[in-house]
Amino acid sequence: MIEWISGWWIDILDVVIVTFLFFKLFQLIRGTRAAQMFLGLIIIIAASFIADWLRLDAFNWLISSLKTVWVVAFVIIFQPELRRVLAQLGQSRVVRYFMRPEHLAVLDEIVRATRELSLRKTGALVVIAREASLRNYIDTGTRISAKVTYELLCTIFTPQTPLHDGACIIVREEIVAAGCVLPLSENPMLPATLGMRHKAAVGLTEETDAVVVVVSEETGGISISVRGNLRRKLDPQTLREALEEIMAPRVQS
């Protein structure tokens, strides 16, 4: 009796999982040409179950012979949708907890350093490169080419050191240069109270797709600039979430 109940629950769980997966896939392709193909595939699968139930041996054999073709066709037809699903799965919090990509480890170091510099009220300007080349700005500073670490970032922005006034530029998992000069924004809509670091952060993000993290020397406030916009008065956790959202891998449709 107990074994029968256990098997019954497993069957229900099996059906629920398959139904959920098909539902999520249909949500992704709804409104596209692949939706019609998806419905056709559902009809064929239903026909297979009916043929098996009614013991239509010839029809069931024909459908079974095509199962290998179904798998290949499914992958080819729904390649963009499957890629999108896998990318979303890889970005979920549960998966990231167990498997942390390199760019997330870099963000950890940046946020940790930002928190420490904010507590010390030590000014900082950290540039995170994305697609656009920052070579012109890298050439204005001192080459470092070192792994991104909390300790190194804090050292670079230590007051009275040669590189603390400029920007630190990070490309992938490496600090490529420090003491770099960035263009100042000439946006008249910016508050007049903004300092040079904040204007430089906005200026660079107006010209490139880079992300810039700023720590105010006067208040210790944390800001982030992207696409010419400036978000101010962030706490470390909010900064972490903003960076994760911005730097998340893009999914091609």
pLDDT average, residue stretch 117-140 = 94
List, edge to edge, every strand of the sheet that includes 124-128: 142-147, 174-180, 167-171, 124-128, 211-215, 222-226, 229-234
Same-domain check for residues 236 and 153: yes
- Predicted pLDDT at 15: 76
Domain assignment present for 253: no
Indicate whether this model's pTM tops 0.95: no
Q: Are residues 93 and 140 in the same domain?
A: no
Last residue of a domain, one of 97, 122, 154: 97
**Averaged pLDDT score across all residues of the chain:** 80
The reply to whether 64 and 159 lie within a common domain is no
What is the domain range of residue 219? 101-244
pLDDT digits (tens, 9 = 90+) for 37-75: 666 667 777 777 777 777 777 777 776 666 666 666 666
Candidate from 7-21, 167-181, 233-247 with smallest mean pLDDT: 7-21
Domain count, the chain: 2
Please check whether residues 76 and 6 belong to one and the same domain.
yes
For 25-36, write each residue's pLDDT tens digit.
666 656 555 566
The burial class, CB within 10 Å (0-12 / 13-18 / 19+), for 197 is buried
13 and 58, same domain (yes or no): yes
